[in-house]
Amino acid sequence: MQASSDTEKICILALMHTPGIGAVTVRQLIGYCGGASQVFDADYRKLIKIPGIGEKIVKAVLGKKCARIG
């Protein structure tokens, strides 16, 4: 279970360090997708449907990677 928790923390940090994405947007993405790691698993069609999330943010997220532990 620790590996999953560590992965989630790493993915949150990856989102926070994505240009154009702040704390409110991170919370929005995580809330809609169910977790930070799920944000990185989501495709364009899912992300673009999130209220307040535009194409620029979607492309920024899709261009990032989140290291997985475990």
Average pLDDT rounded to a whole number, residues 17-21: 93
Q: Average model confidence (pLDDT) for the chain? A: 91
Q: Where are the alpha helices (DSSP H) in 1-70?
A: 2-16, 23-33, 36-41, 44-48, 55-62
Cut 0.85: pTM above it: yes
CATH 1.10.287.70 assigned to domain 2-62? The reply is no
What's the pLDDT at 41?
Answer: 94
pLDDT given at position 65: 85
DSSP code of residue 20: T
Q: What residues does each domain of the chain span?
A: 2-62
| Residues 48-62 pLDDT 10s | 999 999 999 999 999
What is the share, in percent, of the chain residues with pLDDT greater than 70? Answer: 94
Mean pLDDT of 25-38: 96
The C-alpha atoms of residue 18 and residue 47 are separated, in whole angstroms, by: 15
